[in-house]
Structure 1
Amino acid sequence: MAHNMTSVINDEIKSRNAEISSINKFIHANPELAYEEHKAHDAFVSALQSLGFEVTPHAFGLETAFSAEYGSGGRLVIYNAEYDALPGIGHACGHNLISSSSFAAFLGAVAALKASGQPGRVRLLGTPAEEGGGGKLKLIENGAFRDAAACLMVHPGPGHNLTAPIRGVAFVNMLANVKMRVHFTGRESHAAIAPWEGVNALDAVCLGYTAVSMLRQQIRPYERVHGVFRAAGNRANVTPADCTVEYYCRSATKRGADALWARVEKCFEGSAIATGCEMRVEPLNSYADVRPSRGLCEAYVEAMPAGTVSWNEPADILGGSTDMGDVCYQCPGFHGVFGIGTNEGESNHTKGFAAAAGTEEAYERALECGRGMAVVGWKVLSDDKFAERLRSEWETDMKDAAEGKTASA
């Protein structure tokens, strides 16, 4: 039965190549920023409706989210389709390929479910604003992942970091990221006539920056702190009274990132006291660490062509953070990486990566991953023992996360 369903999945994805390829090319050619992905949203809704699916546009309270679902009863498997781009450099994170792979996986898993006649549900979820907008955080809040047995997606990465025949990595950890904006309020004065009357908010910013720079020596090797000045005064002869910085604190776990931010916050509290400024902290969209499901990763390696997917090497194939981490705290999650044809220096968030993401070779890699995810999704829907294992492992991992332990490969 498993072999037959693999054939059903492969045949369905092959037969729908025109629709999947059209979406891929359209999204890559029409990059849209977070929460502005109206063209991508409409293209997906139209394509899914033309294939006979019931689609909910503007789903779960987000204007550029959508949801398409097939089946009833049983377990629910969700595939995430990301499609937002980056300012100035388009799809330099390859979200067109993420959309394509999830679209393919959805169609394949639906075909298997139809052929089986079994209960179960498959959902393709359009998830806007991953690039800093925290779209999945809002989807979580509005119930998009409620009762999911598993949620899967893959992400493109720099292929030049992989050695053939390896084309992808299954178990991919990504850091938690606590994002904060710090506002300092002082008092304006004429910087030449009466500087003693001013309270300099820029001094508070600079003192805090220096303190954080010193703190970096005392943090763990995998932790990161980085920030920018958002507002630092307007004229040199006016003592700056309103200045703002934005800082990211990354660590291996959500708990660790929170603890790191607490140390960074003290740097800014000290600078506010030293300069006489008032200080206010504005929380931004913070992302949890990605905690991959071992069971889903193992099933994915098994479903992909033999010898093409590494378990977790290189471990740094995709750095940074993503709101998929928060989804991993809602249900068993999978966020594998596949390599595309990049050259040295063309990693994610570069123009070279954007160009590579638009190639036919990259699209074929995305389709291959979609087939693998469809097979894994079908296993979740049809194999009770496997689904029970996923849930049990996830519940144990959530206890580990609460204690600040990293997800172990």
Structure 2
Amino acid sequence: MTQDWVKVIDGEIVARNSEINAINQLIHENPELAYEEYKAHDNFVAALQSLGFEVTSKAYGLDTAFSTEVGSGGRLIIYNAEYDALPGIGHACGHNLIASSSFASFLGVAAALKASGLPGRVRLLGTPAEEGGGGKLKLIAAGAYEGAAASLMVHPGPGHTLSGAIRGVSYVRMLANVKMRVYFTGRESHAAIAPWDGVNALDAVCLSYNAISMLRQQIYPYERIHGVFRTAGDRPNVTPANCCVEYYVRSETRTGAERLWQRVLKCFEGAALATGCEIRTEALNSYADVRPSSSLCKAYLNVMPEGTVAYNEPRDFLAGSTDMGDVCYECPGFHGAFGIGTKDGEANHTKGFAAAAGTPESFERAVECGRGMAKVGWKVLTDDGFAEQMKKEWEQDMKLAAEGK
């Protein structure tokens, strides 16, 4: 990577700061739920077109996805822009910052490609519905990541959990997540006149809840089981006949999450057997574990300001799940993280984190990460030896993943 192209990348991102910030603010101020991100989509498309880019709106069959690409030949890198929010608490996972950082990266690499005339392609992909909707799963199925040499994005997390001068993490593993709805079907009865005629589906829900709570004693520290009651009856004097719960089961790998789900399923089946209910399960959008490319993570570490990014600081800094995990099974992936400051030390998925995601300081941090990702992407496009090493490492990791490791 020559210094000239680094200057082009940095210069373009600085020059386009106002456009990047405008998108950041529009997304943060207009939170939209999964597959309803019409304003974010339209604003992004308009911003890119105003800068002279050709954009495919409603890309890959999704109304709120978009795609724009620059360059020809060579390798392809993809930056992911997320922009969906959470019900009731807005951008409490900071997806406006994810969109901003990826926008910055794309602009920087696109400028370097245009100026250099070198082979290579960079794509900015608008990826809706990360928060439970599995947007990237649909994009994968539609071929959005076919032929990609690498895919990159960066995610905000709770800055107070980082130590010293560290404000970001390069290598971030995230958990695989099996998501299920479970339906219990019993029989209505008048709860006062003839309770003996009823089969109580809410009893099955409560039995399974308590069984799962006990199961948590015998799972690994990194594993997670959590759920909510979707329907639990309508009136106290009618024995509930139809109840539904939704559960997420997480572990370090796809195989581990599926194994843990089978143990959780026995809790549901046992509760159905004990109460006389019927049981039905419905699979939701399950996410694979994030398996970052160590080559990409080390390259990112090398281009960020010295002493500000750790390779893999603390384990639970970003301990959730994301559909970026599935992208890591399609091509080498980077899903770094950076800390933002919340008023009272709140983590993701809180109102405090949503407020912090809208500050100028958080935006500056996101753009700093975007500059780093742009330089890593440029290295993928222009350094044949690095790209080959990255690919071989990923292929070996996919063999381990197939073995459940």
On whether the aligned pair clears a TM of 0.5, the verdict is yes
Per the alignment, residue 116 of structure 1 pairs with: 116
Distance of 1:342 and 1:214 partners within structure 2: 34
Aligned letter for 2:322?
T
Identity score, percent: 76
Contact 2:172 2:337 survives alignment (8 Å): yes
User: 1:345 deviation in Å?
Assistant: 3.0
Over residues 276-305 of structure 1, what are the superposed CA-to-partner deviations in whole Å (9 max), with x where a residue is unaligned?
Answer: 111100001111111110000011001111
User: 1:344 deviation in Å?
Assistant: 4.1
Deviates more, 1:350-359 or 1:174-183: 350-359
The reply on whether 1:342 has 2:342 as its aligned counterpart is yes
Distance of 1:149 and 1:177 partners within structure 2: 25
Per the alignment, residue 65 of structure 1 pairs with: 65
Aligned letter for 1:230?
R
User: 1:10-25 to 2 correspondence within 5 Å?
Assistant: 10-25=10-25
Per the alignment, residue 202 of structure 2 pairs with: 202
The reply on whether 1:173 has 2:173 as its aligned counterpart is yes
Distance of 1:236 and 1:353 partners within structure 2: 38
Per the alignment, residue 374 of structure 1 pairs with: 374
User: 1:216 deviation in Å?
Assistant: 1.0
SS in 2 for 1:106: helix
Aligned letter for 1:82?
E
Distance of 1:122 and 1:134 partners within structure 2: 23
Aligned letter for 2:59?
A
Distance of 1:296 and 1:367 partners within structure 2: 18
User: 1:262-277 to 2 correspondence within 5 Å?
Assistant: 262-277=262-277
Contact 1:169 1:309 survives alignment (8 Å): yes
Over residues 121-142 of structure 1, what are the superposed CA-to-partner deviations in whole Å (9 max), with x where a residue is unaligned?
Answer: 1000000111111111111111
Per the alignment, residue 393 of structure 2 pairs with: 393
Aligned letter for 1:303?
V
SS in 1 for 2:222: coil
User: 1:160-309 to 2 correspondence within 5 Å?
Assistant: 160-309=160-309
Per the alignment, residue 362 of structure 2 pairs with: 362
Contact 1:160 1:343 survives alignment (8 Å): no
How many aligned positions are there?
Answer: 405
The reply on whether 1:311 has 2:311 as its aligned counterpart is yes
Per the alignment, residue 320 of structure 2 pairs with: 320
Distance of 1:61 and 1:139 partners within structure 2: 8
Deviates more, 1:354-363 or 1:49-58: 354-363
Contact 2:343 2:356 survives alignment (8 Å): no
Aligned letter for 1:290?
V
Aligned letter for 2:350?
T
Over residues 137-185 of structure 1, what are the superposed CA-to-partner deviations in whole Å (9 max), with x where a residue is unaligned?
Answer: 1111111111110000001111122234211000011111111000011
Aligned letter for 1:239?
T
User: 1:192 deviation in Å?
Assistant: 2.0
TM-score (norm 1): 0.97
SS in 2 for 1:41: helix
Contact 1:179 1:248 survives alignment (8 Å): yes
Per the alignment, residue 29 of structure 1 pairs with: 29
User: 1:366 deviation in Å?
Assistant: 0.8
Distance of 1:37 and 1:348 partners within structure 2: 20
User: 1:115 deviation in Å?
Assistant: 2.1
User: 1:76 deviation in Å?
Assistant: 0.7
User: 1:274 deviation in Å?
Assistant: 1.6
Deviates more, 1:344-353 or 1:241-250: 344-353
Aligned letter for 1:354?
A
Q: CA RMSD in A?
A: 1.1
Contact 1:160 1:344 survives alignment (8 Å): no
